[in-house]
Amino acid sequence: MTTTAFVFDEAMLGYDLGDDHPLSPLRRSLAVDLIRAYGLLDRDDVDVVAPRAAVDDEIARAHAPSYIAATKRYSADPMMSHEWEAAQWGFAAGGDTPAFTGMHEAAAYLCGASITAAMEVWEGRAAQAFSAGGGLHHALHNRAAGFCVYNDPAVAIHALLGSGAERVAYIDVDVHHGDGTQWIFYEDPRVLTCSVHESGRYLFPGTGHLAERGVGAAEGTAVNIPLPPYAGEAPYLRAVEDVIAPAVAAFDPDIIVTQNGADPHHRDPLAHLQITMGTYPRLYRALVQIARETAGGRLVALGGGGYHTDVVPRAWTMLFAGMLGVELDDEIPHEWVAKSSGRAGMLLTPTLLGDEEPEIPAGERARADAEGHQVVDQARLLLRM
Burial of residue 150 (CB within 10 Å: 0-12, 13-18, 19+) is buried
Give the pLDDT of residue 25: 97
Give the pLDDT of residue 385: 65
Tens digits of pLDDT across the chain (385 residues): 689 999 999 999 999 999 999 999 999 999 999 999 999 999 999 999 999 999 999 999 999 999 999 999 999 999 988 888 899 999 988 899 999 999 999 999 999 999 999 999 999 999 999 998 999 999 999 999 999 999 999 999 999 999 999 999 999 999 999 999 999 999 999 999 999 999 999 999 999 999 999 999 999 999 999 999 999 999 999 999 999 999 999 999 999 999 999 999 999 999 999 999 999 999 999 999 999 999 999 999 999 999 999 999 999 999 999 999 999 999 999 999 999 999 999 999 999 999 988 888 878 999 999 999 999 999 999 998 6
Does 12 map to a domain?
yes
Q: Answer for the pair 240, 284: CB distance below 8 angstroms, yes or no.
A: no
Does 335 map to a domain?
yes
| Domain carrying residue 206 | 4-50+113-383
Q: Answer for the pair 34, 317: CB distance below 8 angstroms, yes or no.
A: yes
Does 298 map to a domain?
yes
Give the pLDDT of residue 84: 85
**Nearest CA among 325, 257, 26, 323 for reference residue 119:** 257
Q: At what angle do helices 279-294 and 312-324 cross, to 10 degrees?
A: 40
Does 29 map to a domain?
yes
Catalytic residue among 138, 265, 266, 272: 138
Does 66 map to a domain?
no
Q: How far apart are CA 218 and CA 283, in angstroms?
A: 27
Instruction: Work out how many domains the chain is built from and give that number.
Output: 1
Q: What length does the chain have?
A: 385
Does 83 map to a domain?
no
Q: How far apart are CA 330 and CA 38, in angstroms?
A: 11
Backbone CA torsion sign across 273, 236, 200, 169: positive
CATH of the domain at 354: 3.40.800.20
Residue 138 appears among annotated catalytic residues: yes
Is 6 in a helix, a strand, or coil? strand
Give the pLDDT of residue 226: 99
Helix (H) or strand (E) run with residue 370 in it:
helix 362-383
